Structure 1
Amino acid sequence: MLDLQSPIPKYITNKGNIVRLIFFTAGFALVFINIYSPFGVETWYNVTRWQLFFYSSLIILTGVMVVVISRVVMYQISKFKILLLWQYLIWILAEILSMAIFYTLYEMLILHDKRELLHVLKISVQNTALIILLPYSVLWLYFSWKEKNDKLNALTQGEPIFDPSKMVAFYDEKGILRLSLKIDNLIFIEAADNYVNIHYYNKEKISKFMLRNSLKKLEETFVNSEILRCHRSYMVNFEKVKIIRKDKDGLKLELDLPSTLDIPVSKSYVDSVMQTFSKYCQ
């Protein structure tokens, strides 16, 4: 079941993937309009098939500008705000409606379609939904497959998936960027009611930043990384773990930094912690 509150995958807002989406959508739309003949193209003047292909190309490329503008705006917004799945779905619906309005106005004002405006708009929405949703769905599956395949290849070849030299971004529950730091400086994250406290190394001392978000959401963000959930109240940067100790209260993680508490490990997270530990021992 889809979690509409979860962030969209990062490959959706990847610059290269956005370019691929635009070109693939334009190509699909061009083939679609010449084979299926929606939008009343059969009435576009008395022209040959090649002339129709030329005219339809111009119209399709003009309509696809809606997608171009939309995705450029989305790319810029994604730099400082996380888009949630429900927001992305609404965004797609807005793209469909905007493009349908464009084609409806073209039919009514340029082609002088005699049908009722609402009827033409309804048909345009249906056709535009096919033009957009089919290539979007195909590319979403392809991008997802490619990302998983790249991670599998990296694991097979022994390459690190998570680069500790990179920056890690922390967003609040509304998707607004609040903190960014090097992963190597992150120590652990602690739950605090409706907030989390991010403990990190800063100028030779340990600092704390309070963020309105949940560990569950952050756990989804840091999947397949060294930032690991080990307790219902804690996530830890496993690069900072010096010792795993077992005492009467269970497993404890001792961190390789002064003045930090030992992090407890819940029974439900013991397996994932030990699997991660075994990778470091290989």
Structure 2
Amino acid sequence: MFDLQKEIPAYLMLKSNIVRLILFTAFFALIFINVYAPFGVDVWFHTTRWQLLLYSSVITLTGVLVVVISRIIMYHTRRAKLLRLWQYLIWVLAEVFFMGLFYTLYQKLILHDHRFFPDLLTLSVQNTALVLLLPYSVLWLYFSWEDKKTRLEKIREEGIPAEPVKGMIHFCDERGGLRFSLKSDNLLYIEAADNYVYIHYLDNGKLNRHLLRSNLKRLGEELHGSALVRTHRSYMVNSDKVSLIRRAKEGLRIEMEGLPDLSLPVSPTYTSVVLDVFTQIRS
């Protein structure tokens, strides 16, 4: 069962995958319109197959601009804040509606279709749902398979155990190479440092840190599903090692087990995420 509160998979927001999604959707829409002939084009407007191909190509390329604009906005939104699964699904439904609205307006204003506008809109949204949701679903499955395949290849190349050692966390650099592994019980928090991060951990009860060339966004994507929680643009903490969350004048502060003198900030951007995580842990 899907957890709608989860952040969407990182592979959905890769530029290359966004481009492939747009191109595949345009191709699928072109085939769909010519084979299925939705919107009553072949009946209401008595077009030949060649005319239908020409008209559908223009309509498809123009209509896909809705998806292009939507995905550009989504990409930049995802960079600024977290995008959860339920938000992504609503976003997709909005794409279906607005592309259906575009086709409806095209029929009324360009093709001078005399049918009732609400009826046209309903039909257009239904057909657009098929045009978008089918390729979206297929590509989501393909991107997921491709992501798992890439991770498995990286595991074989870098020597990470095919069966993960229970309780171990593996850290890779920006090129995907394995550089550092430790028990999750020893990990405290990760701190951003320009193009590097400091991994703060306990070693025989003593506080140590390891410098890794990477960034918090990449680590958050690679370690999605672990106990690590992003709390600030400069910090990510091990939720299992948090001893206290308190409210100060400047906002929420986090204190870690065994580090009474350390207090990490929680930025307003991540406040709701942090509270959600720890509410679930305590419930």
CA shift digits 1:13-45 (9 cap, x unpaired): 111100000000000000000000001221575
* C-alpha contact 1:44 1:111 (8 A) present in aligned 2: no
Per the TM alignment, residue 214 of structure 1 is displaced from its structure 2 partner at its CA by 3.8
Aligned equivalents of 1:29, 1:54: Cα separation in 2? 13
Provide the C-alpha distance between the structure 1 equivalents of 2:95 and 2:234, rounded to a whole number of angstroms. Answer: 31
1:228-248 deviations in Å (ceiling 9; x for gaps): xxxx79xxxxxxxxxxxxxxx
- Partners of 1:102 and 1:62 in 2: how far apart? 9
Write the distance in 1 (CA, Å) between the matches of 2:53 and 2:115.
24
The whole-number CA distance in structure 1 between the counterparts of 2:114 and 2:105 is 12
SS in 2 for 1:157: helix
- Once residues 231 and 51 of structure 2 are traced to their aligned partners in structure 1, the CA distance between those partners, rounded to angstroms, is 50
Query: Secondary structure, in 3 states, of the residue corresponding to 1:140?
Result: helix
1:265 is matched with none
How far the C-alpha of 1:102 sits from its partner, in A, is 0.5
Structure 1 residues 177 and 131 mapped into 2: Cα distance closer, same or farther (>3 Å)?
Answer: farther
Match of 2:35 in 1: 35
d(CA) in 2 for partners of 1:215, 1:153: 36
- The residue identity in structure 2 corresponding to 1:162 is C
The alpha-carbon distance between structure 1 residues 187 and 78, as it changes in their structure 2 partners (threshold 3 A), is closer
User: Once the two structures are aligned, what percentage of the paired residues are identical?
Assistant: 48
How far 1:208 moved relative to its partner?
Answer: 4.2
What letter is aligned with 1:11? Y
For residue 197 of structure 1, what is the aligned residue in structure 2?
A: 254
By how many angstroms is 1:188 displaced? 5.5
Q: How does 1:208-247 map to 2 (within 5 A)?
A: 208-211=263-266, 212=271, 213-214=273-274
Q: What SS class does the counterpart of residue 132 from structure 2 fall into?
A: helix
Query: How far apart in 2 are the matches of 1:162 and 1:113?
Result: 58
Tell me if the contact between 1:96 and 1:128 (Cα under 8 Å) persists in the aligned partners: yes
Change (3 A) 1:109 1:188: closer
SS at match of 2:158: coil
Contact 1:81 1:176 in 2 (8 A): no
Aligned residues: 207
Q: Structure 2 unaligned runs (5+)?
A: 161-170, 174-211, 221-228, 247-251
Q: Is structure 2 residue 142 aligned with structure 1 residue 142? A: yes
Partner of 2:213: 165
- What corresponds to 1:111 in structure 2? 111
CA contact (8 A) 1:188 1:198 kept: no
What SS does the corresponding residue of 1:209 show, helix, strand or coil? Answer: strand
Distance 1:126 1:208, change over 3 A: same
Aligned to 2:74: 74
Q: Distance in 2 between matches of 1:28 and 1:55?
A: 15
CA separation of 1:47 and 1:216: change in aligned 2, threshold 3 A? closer
**1:65-86: CA deviation from partner (whole Å, max 9, x where unpaired):** 0000000011111112110011
Q: Any conservation in 2 of the 1:196–1:215 contact (CA below 8 Å)?
A: no
For 2:95, what is the secondary structure of its paired residue?
A: helix
Q: Structure 1 CA distance, aligned partners of 2:140 and 2:275?
A: 27
The corresponding residue for 2:234 is 180
Aligned to 2:184: none
Native 8 Å contact 1:198 1:208 kept in 2: yes
Counterpart check, 1:17 vs 2:71? no
Distance 1:82 1:154 in 2: 26
TM-score (norm 2): 0.65
Q: Contact (CA 8 Å) 1:26, 1:64: kept in 2 or not?
A: yes
